[in-house]
C-alpha cells in the first residue's frame, strides 16, 4: 500500500468488494447512495475506530454487508521524501 495512505475502508457483500475509500466521510456518502439503510456515520465511526475495526449489518431484504477498516503499518504521513 502507498505509504502516504493512512487507512482504507472497504464495503463487502458476499465476500466481494463493493466499494473502498480512504476517507470515512466520502465512504459514508457513497455507501448511503448504494444502500439507504446504512447505519449512521457515528455508528460506523464508533465500530470501525474501536477495538474491532469491522462492522456487520443487513439491509431490509436481508443482504449481509461487512465493513472493514485496514490501517497501513507503513504510513509516514505527508512528509516530503528525503
> Residue 81: pLDDT band by 50, 70, 90 thresholds?
low
| Cα–Cα distance measured from residue 1 to residue 56, given in angstroms and rounded to the nearest whole number | 25
pLDDT digits (tens, 9 = 90+) for 37-54: 999 999 999 999 988 899
- The answer to whether 5 touches 75, Cβ cutoff 8 Å, is yes
How many other CB atoms sit within 10 Å of the CB of residue 25? 10
Average pLDDT (26-41) is 93
Give me the mean pLDDT over the 9-13 stretch: 96
In this prediction the pTM is 0.86
Per-chain mean pLDDT for the chain: 91
Amino acid at each position: 500500500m502507498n505509504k502516504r495512505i493512512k487507512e482504507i475502508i472497504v464495503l463487502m457483500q458476499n465476500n466481494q468488494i463493493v466499494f473502498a475509500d480512504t476517507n470515512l466521510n466520502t465512504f459514508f456518502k457513497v455507501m448511503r447512495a448504494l444502500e439507504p439503510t446504512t447505519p449512521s456515520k457515528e455508528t460506523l465511526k464508533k465500530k470501525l475506530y474501536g477495538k474491532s475495526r469491522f462492522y456487520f449489518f443487513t439491509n431490509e431484504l436481508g443482504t449481509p454487508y461487512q465493513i472493514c477498516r485496514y490501517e497501513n503499518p507503513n504510513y509516514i504521513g505527508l512528509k516530503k521524501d528525503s
